Structure 1
């Protein structure tokens, strides 16, 4: 019952530039949306509408629709999805193209729109209308998209400059991409911490997929291809092995504490009972947490996060390092008293630990009568 939106992510389209379904959806998108709604869900869809594959018919049919480099040559870049050119959103014809695309998707029944790779058009230097400021380029695109889908549809700007989409979107991506490697978590925690204040004030924050799969929590396969990298966090974005149980709990808590959108990215039927239980505990929405030691943590990311709700207060102490760490928590300093419960088990925590294992989180729940007004 907690799962509401069923969003088709990248891979449904015939080609970037031809936003029609491929063979995975033989009955069409409207049929998919009808099935989702019949089951009580909200149909969603991902697009990257500002990028067009240079082998796509749209690129050949409308060569004048694309932005250029500073020297006047066409701006193209190679992506995992092919060579791409960027639509010139200052052109009325391009705006009409975007409007018709999203009106069609809305008519197909979609109510949730994830619009990705938005910032990439800023790689281009020259647009048809040179008087349009650069911050206005993405704003034009999102203004057109919002007009096309209407005020009731949910619009997520993914990879969008924040100043360009304020007032048009319901949510933004607040982090980089995530995978099931510790290096991803270390990369994303800083973004979540720095942008905690945006949640509920400007929009909803999307910290990317909540994933918990790994050898301890799910049946194989956990990935399409194994990434070989050094074990330490300095090894890069995908550094180290897949999540173990403790690391999966750390990341699940981090997404939970963000207070933002929760988008599941695991193949749910492959999760073991342990993995499913971790998800179950963090699916219920919770007020955004404050990273209390954002500027004072002895570790690079903040360790102490506090989420104060009407029913309870959640206190989490993280250890982001590869060594055991001290737990220096005085609940009274934060207006908390009494015996907390363990977030995962509900058991009373009669004595706070003084040491914390590597890559772990201590999660404590205080009841409403245990928090100072």
Structure 2
């Protein structure tokens, strides 16, 4: 396994280029050499984390006489064990970049995926009450004093999406502090969404302070071409813009928010006209994000607030945030006459979730806590099997676990899926790793890893401290499939194991008995079997004791 990894992305965007493809090698063995390898460092590429690559921007920096430029450090590593080599490289990168940690992995509910821009203070209040009274299983699995989160997403500022004017709209008439207080009464944390560097062209901020905004090459205000309406970008190198961010996040912290979802962060890294022309896009992003992080969690004091990066280049945010989204949204809210309609969901979006988790699960705890995105169970968009599969991916991600449905509208059978104590008990543990991750075929023409269902490994495994093994066997295909689970492949050892089905509502799972060496499973389309395996001798000894 050959790994090339930037150790600390503090100034540039690093691009690795090499020529190697297994299909060009004769015979069954893999090639042992890479004929061409180049490491380049550029300006920030126009990419978001779910993309494999973006086009780097040209970067021109003045180099004074008798001086030079120092690149961001990179690591080139080779090892026979692909998983171990990749993990070693990422641990080294996390150490070099000062990766941040948080005492627990947040879990809770997010307003975006079902309620979207139609969210109101009443929606937040009713979900706080629902979570506290109807979801005790989620509350009980929270640890280290950080309670489940009710997270208010986009839609709370002046309508529609007048980002930059970060004041509550008329649907939060009592203000954000009053809303946060109502959530706290249920002994829950409260979170909030912002796109801190984006400024709507029709906002009061854009009209009052155009000098705080990035400039395009012709001197006009830069407009983010990625979005459907015009947004400018706040310049983190402008002292007054930094003071604006200070004031904003200190106020939100005083209002009682302890979870911050910061979105569209890529914008601050655009290479553009800045107040300080010597600062690169990556430096500017880190400068602005550090100011925000310090306002939320003042240096020198215990960190009580969780900071989640979304829509961000991943390595540049290491050391500044506790968690990061590793893929795109898994659901799309729908609006009908200004009100929330049934969200757009489907198995293709779940496949994207799985694909990104497979490609980036090794980031978890090495660089930050991963965020695979929310889980949803809405019918008829998802079958029960698809809902179980989606929940399993997130529960075994090792990272953040958030619910995305309008919980009060769910039928009892769908709500029961979200309340399963066996599955919720897995949240926040080690990430499950796909077996034979690097043996899947790869098509270089595709922009994404594991772009086809047959490229995603079916068997994912995690080993718990009690000696048991949690096994997830997925059927990513559109047809029913049998699967022979070989215990030596899952656990590293053959023999007899006590096996339990964790998707059963019975506490501890439904016992399937003691099985020797292997187990035959039949999986419907788009489904998962979630099992806990314990060595039979050890399990029998515990029962005897």
TM-score (norm: length of structure 2): 0.60
- For residue 79 of structure 1, report the CA deviation from its aligned partner: 6.7
* Distance of 1:355 and 1:105 partners within structure 2: 51
Unaligned segments of structure 1, at least 5 residues: 216-241
* Distance of 2:259 and 2:510 partners within structure 1: 39
* Distance of 2:219 and 2:535 partners within structure 1: 63
Aligned to 1:237: none
Q: 1:156 aligns with which of 308, 316, 321?
A: 308
CA contact (8 A) 2:154 2:193 kept: yes
* Distance of 1:62 and 1:368 partners within structure 2: 66
Q: 2:459 aligns with which of 299, 304, 311?
A: 304
Q: 1:7 aligns with which of 151, 168, 172?
A: 151
CA contact (8 A) 2:271 2:280 kept: no
Aligned to 1:189: 354
Aligned to 2:397: 258
The structure-2 alpha-carbon separation of the partners of 1:370 and 1:205, relative to structure 1 and needing over 3 Å to count, comes to farther
Q: 1:270 aligns with which of 386, 400, 409?
A: 409
1:40 aligns with 2:179: no
CA contact (8 A) 1:16 1:48 kept: yes
CA deviation map 1:211-251 (0-9, x unaligned): 11112xxxxxxxxxxxxxxxxxxxxxxxxxx2111111111
* Distance of 2:229 and 2:236 partners within structure 1: 21
The structure-2 alpha-carbon separation of the partners of 1:163 and 1:371, relative to structure 1 and needing over 3 Å to count, comes to farther
CA deviation map 1:164-220 (0-9, x unaligned): 2111111111121012211111112111111111222222111111111112xxxxx
CA contact (8 A) 1:135 1:163 kept: no
CA deviation map 1:111-142 (0-9, x unaligned): 11111111133445332222112221211111
Aligned to 1:344: 503
Unaligned segments of structure 2, at least 5 residues: 1-135, 140-147, 298-302, 332-344, 442-453, 540-545
Aligned to 2:481: 325
State how 1:1-150 maps to structure 2 within 5 Å.
1=136, 2-3=138-139, 4-14=148-158, 15-77=162-224, 82-123=229-270, 125-150=272-297
* SS of residue in 2 equivalent to 1:338: strand
* SS of residue in 2 equivalent to 1:196: helix
1:209 aligns with 2:374: yes
CA deviation map 1:259-292 (0-9, x unaligned): 1111111111112222122112233323211112
The structure-2 alpha-carbon separation of the partners of 1:106 and 1:362, relative to structure 1 and needing over 3 Å to count, comes to same
- For residue 81 of structure 1, report the CA deviation from its aligned partner: 6.9
- Which structure has the larger Rg over C-alpha atoms? 2
Farther-moved stretch of structure 1 (113-122 vs 262-271): 113-122
* Distance of 1:178 and 1:110 partners within structure 2: 25
* Distance of 2:409 and 2:538 partners within structure 1: 39
The structure-2 alpha-carbon separation of the partners of 1:178 and 1:371, relative to structure 1 and needing over 3 Å to count, comes to farther
- For residue 73 of structure 1, report the CA deviation from its aligned partner: 2.8
1:356 aligns with 2:523: yes
* Distance of 1:47 and 1:137 partners within structure 2: 18
Farther-moved stretch of structure 1 (331-340 vs 42-51): 331-340
- For residue 27 of structure 1, report the CA deviation from its aligned partner: 0.7
CA deviation map 1:69-111 (0-9, x unaligned): 2333321136767320011111111111111110111111111
CA contact (8 A) 1:77 1:83 kept: yes
What RMSD in Å do the two structures reach over aligned CA positions? 2.1
* Distance of 1:303 and 1:266 partners within structure 2: 27
The structure-2 alpha-carbon separation of the partners of 1:361 and 1:34, relative to structure 1 and needing over 3 Å to count, comes to same
* Distance of 1:26 and 1:79 partners within structure 2: 32
Q: 1:283 aligns with which of 424, 428, 446?
A: 424
- More contact order relative to length (CA 8 Å, sep ≥ 6): 2
1:367 aligns with 2:534: yes
* SS of residue in 1 equivalent to 2:192: strand
* SS of residue in 2 equivalent to 1:177: coil
Aligned to 2:388: 249
TM-score (norm: length of structure 1): 0.87
CA contact (8 A) 1:297 1:303 kept: no
